């Protein structure tokens, strides 16, 4: 049963039909956001270049009233009438964004410029999906929005980290110089159905390995921490932020403040899957953060938002998704855009 969430209720209350662009709309987060916006009665324009998004994520929306799709890379400018923009277009997992680091940086920087120009021309409100990676390997814990971060500008994660930091700068410059209505969300680790099985992030890695009976690979000793937010909670945060007063731009942390070690996550996945997988350890990647947990005081105060789904509940839903998916894994991984 679907739970009525505050962000969706707000969007329904403001029932004027909006033309809303979701870039990266065929991806993990984007496809869930498209669904939520359609449920609120808006016209959704889903844009994706299928670099990491999948057609199957949006196939069920193809015949939905008020849904349209454009195949496009936001590195190239685009123009049409729009009231709101959610910019989710950027690979978010290390294997994907490191595969073509120059294009990853272009997506964050040139893509943001193009979308900000689109917002300026049409007086549209625009939300940037930024990331907790702007904090780097943090020296402040938990991370608050006023913290400037500890980022390596030359490391293997820099194309993503620094690209997102530069995008935030552009958003604030367009707000200050051109009066563009901007919103910036800093997303912490998010998981749930529609993650790719080859996503490369820890939740999907552990679940796929456990379901296949493979060794579960922990990089480092497993004492590093993360905070895991279920996708439904994050999407609700997006909607609350977009509907917030124009004077509130963010950045605002959106994530689950419950902190777990990577070792604890592995044990939960093994328990929930009933797997016989062994845990094995590999060297920690360069610049991998040792601690990651959001301070969500601002989101609670400004948006009246906080996560509802526990890790145990969210992992159960995600495991069921991957269990069904693995039977059809080859077509997913070889899907041709």
Exactly one of 160, 174, 191, 219 is catalytic; name it: 160
Please say if 160 is a catalytic residue.
yes
* Integer angstrom CA distances of residue 215 from 91, 189, 198: 26, 23, 16
Instruction: List beta partners, residue 127.
Output: 86, 183
Q: Which residues are catalytic?
A: 160
């Amino acid at each position: 049963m679907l739970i009525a969430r505050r962000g969706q209720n707000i969007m329904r209350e403001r029932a004027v039909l909006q033309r809303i662009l979701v870039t990266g709309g065929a991806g993990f987060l984007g496809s869930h956001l498209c669904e939520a916006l359609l449920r609120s009665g808006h016209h959704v324009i889903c844009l994706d270049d299928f670099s990491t998004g999948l057609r199957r994520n949006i196939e069920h929306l193809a015949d939905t009233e008020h849904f349209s799709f454009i195949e496009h890379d936001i590195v190239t400018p685009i123009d049409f009438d729009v009231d709101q923009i959610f910019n989710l277009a950027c690979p978010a997992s290390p294997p994907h964004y490191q595969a073509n680091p120059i294009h990853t940086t272009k997506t964050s920087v040139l893509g943001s410029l193009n979308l900000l120009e689109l917002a300026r021309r049409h007086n549209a409100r625009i939300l940037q999906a930024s990331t907790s990676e702007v904090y780097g390997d943090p020296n402040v814990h938990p991370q608050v929005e006023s913290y400037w971060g500890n980022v390596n500008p030359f490391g293997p994660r820099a194309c993503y980290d620094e690209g997102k930091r530069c995008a935030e700068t552009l958003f604030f410059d367009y707000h200050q110089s051109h009066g563009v209505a901007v919103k910036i969300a800093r997303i912490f680790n998010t998981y749930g159905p529609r993650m790719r099985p080859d996503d490369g992030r820890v939740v999907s890695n552990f679940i796929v390995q456990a379901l296949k009976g493979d060794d579960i690979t922990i990089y480092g000793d497993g004492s590093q921490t993360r905070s895991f937010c279920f996708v439904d909670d994050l999407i609700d945060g997006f909607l609350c932020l977009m509907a917030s007063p124009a004077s509130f731009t963010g950045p605002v942390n959106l994530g689950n403040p419950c902190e777990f070690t990577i070792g604890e996550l592995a044990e939960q996945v093994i328990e929930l899957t009933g797997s016989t997988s062994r845990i094995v350890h590999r060297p920690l990647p360069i610049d991998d953060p040792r601690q990651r947990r959001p301070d969500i005081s601002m989101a609670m105060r400004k948006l009246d938002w906080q996560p509802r789904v526990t890790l145990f509940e969210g992992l159960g839903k995600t495991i069921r998704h991957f269990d069904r998916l693995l039977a059809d894994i080859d077509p997913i991984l070889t899907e041709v855009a």
